Amino acid sequence: MPLARPYQRMPAIAIGFACTMAMAHVATSRLDRDLQPAVLLFVFIAWAFVYWVLRERSRRGQELEPPGIWITRWGVVLGLAIVSLGVSSFNTGVNLLYVLFSSLAVAFVLNLPIAILNVPGLRALRRAPDRVYAGETIRIGLKFEGGMAPWSGMGIVLRDIPAGPAGVESPNIRALYAPRNDREEILYETQAVRRGIFHWRATRVASAFPFGLISVSRDLPNPGRIVIYPRLGFMRRPIRTAGTTGELRRAARASFDEPYAEFHNLREYRHGDNPRLIHWRTTAKQNKLFVREFERRAESETLILLDTYCRSSINPDSSDALEIAVSFAATAARDLCRAQLRIGVAFLDDELTALPPSSGSAHYHRILEALAGLKASASPTLRRLIECNTVHSMIACGAARVIVVTPEAKGIAAEALGPLSEHIYIVSIADGAHERDFGFSLDSSSDNDPSAEAPEL
């Protein structure tokens, strides 16, 4: 809930200013006429200062005050009103002014110890998902334990404080009280802004209970970790058809439609085997069911090399191209894992990350977590990546179809790859190859679960 703007409180400020000027005029009625203008000018300057404080605090929007004890905006207004009432009551001797002054002063003084005892002793507990996808709306729950006073946790404002850059929006959450049992918690929805591995440091709790005049703010230790996967998209043409020639494209399509290559041997039939693989001649001779075993084609394995070079200082669109490249690689991993094909990913940022080709949901999440932690490199990395022993051996043996995803132009990537560029398929984000060759789009509401059935193509 945003803080109110000063102009929304202008009637209250105008009434308070008029009342204060009237009381100042009454209080100075017994003073020398020469001093009255000076006193009224002082009151006017004080109220101008109050308005400036309110305007500056409103500009901060939803930011909570740092840990400490603070006088709220209306505490400042009431404090000046108390001072004006005190001066007026002592100068005029009017009993009504004495009553108003004492009542407001007692409320102001009592607010401090009650607010101080409202927050200490609380322990915050957070319930949040371990991993989400960038752009998703997530629900986070907060509950509390402990407390020094029976009224601890009343009238609080909460905000999760990240340790370092924030990947999740942290709004202010206003609650009537802090739930301190297992059946209740404070739930709020927020947005996963960008990919990465992020940590929470604490939960900031501020309370001005009960009168809203003095606020006490503290950071309650509440560490946490969340992995935000890259945003996924949709490919109208599958990544498994990628190739440098038409022959490789046909072979890739054939490897998906008939995932068998050379005949390997015969074995007895097991429950779940494809009946089309039964070798009837041997079955008739042995009076048992025998099936043919085949070796998988090499094209059933795909290795994606991701270029992390980002020239954001030269080209502001380079960082956006890198994020598209990461999303493209993540979407390819999802689609290939759904098709029960093996995929590996390798990239070089601060250090080498190489995941050999494999399949399954666990391997898919390992790939996405590695891509979530990918950092942009300030220097070219593609040539150094293919020269790494692990990656070079995988390329040299020819056991997998190799695809390079780069935010740079295709010519720059081909120059870095050298002679290997003839055997590697290059997807250039800068040239629009992800859209032209695969129809890749980030605007998709498709399921992110790799275990779901592959869509019909």
Lowest mean pLDDT among 141-155, 156-170, 289-303, 317-331: 289-303
Residues 107, 209: contact at Cβ < 8 Å? no
Report whether pLDDT(267) > 70. Answer: yes
CB 124 within 8 A of CB 179: no
Q: What CA–CA distance (Å, rounded) separates 204 from 339?
A: 46
pLDDT at 453: 42
What pLDDT was estimated at residue 319?
A: 72
Cβ-contact 155, 177 below 8 angstroms: yes
| CA–CA distance, 200 with 130 (Å, rounded to integer) | 12
Mean pLDDT calculated for residue range 204-227: 88
Q: Are 305 and 328 contacting, i.e. CB atoms less than 8 angstroms apart?
A: no
> Does 147 or 375 have the greater pLDDT score?
375
State mean pLDDT over 408-419.
Answer: 88
pLDDT at 108 (0 to 100): 82
Of 31-35, 119-123, 302-306, the poorest mean pLDDT is in: 31-35
Note whether 61 and 3 are within 8 A (CB).
yes
Query: How much is the pLDDT for 443?
Result: 64
Between CA 312 and CA 317 the distance in angstroms is: 7
User: How far does Cα 108 stand from its chain's mean position?
Assistant: 40
Give the pLDDT mean for 425-432.
90
| Listed range (13-22, 68-77, 170-179, 200-209) with the worst mean pLDDT | 13-22
What type of residue sits at position 53? V
What residues does 434 pair with on adjacent strands?
A: none
Give, in order, the Cα–Cα distances in Å from 184 to each of 124, 125, 138, 149, 176. 13, 12, 18, 19, 13
pLDDT at 326: 94
Q: Would you place residue 51 in the very low, low, confident or very high pLDDT band (cuts 50, 70, 90)?
A: low
- The answer, yes or no, to whether residue 438 has pLDDT greater than 70, is yes
In angstroms, the CA 93 to CA 58 distance is 38
> What is the band of 325 on the pLDDT scale with cuts at 50, 70, 90?
very high
Residue 291's pLDDT band (cuts 50, 70, 90): confident
Mean pLDDT of the chain: 77
Q: What is the mean pLDDT of residues 41-67?
A: 60
Cα dihedral 377→378→383→384 (10° resolution)? -70
Instruction: Report the alpha-carbon distance of residue 216 to residue 157 in Å, rounded.
Output: 10
Cα atoms in the 13 Å half-sphere on the side-chain side of 76: 16
Domain 122-229 has CATH 2.60.40: yes
Of the chain, the percentage scoring pLDDT greater than 90 comes to: 20
pLDDT score for 340: 84
With a cut of 60, say whether residue 437 has pLDDT above it: yes
Supply the pLDDT for residue 378.
Answer: 84
Distance CA(129)–CA(134), nearest Å, equals: 13
Q: What is the pLDDT of residue 172?
A: 86
Terminal CA-CA length for the chain: 46
pLDDT in tens, 4-41: 333 334 444 555 555 555 555 555 555 555 555 666 66
pLDDT exceeds 50 at position 216: yes
Q: Is the pLDDT of residue 457 over 60?
A: no
pLDDT over 80 at 315, yes or no? no
Cα 214-205-165 angle, rounded to 5 deg: 125
* Residues, the chain: 457
388-405 pLDDT, tens per residue?
Answer: 887 777 766 655 688 999
Domain boundaries, the chain: 6-116, 122-229, 262-295, 298-436
Residue with more model confidence, 326 or 63? 326
For residue 341, is pLDDT > 70?
A: yes
67: pLDDT strictly greater than 90: no
Q: Is 183 helix (H, G, I), strand (E, B) or coil?
A: coil
Superfamily of domain 298-436: von Willebrand factor, type A domain (3.40.50.410)
pLDDT of residue 133: 93
Q: Which helix (H) or strand (E) holds 226?
A: strand 214-229
- Of residues 269 and 98, the one with the higher pLDDT is 269
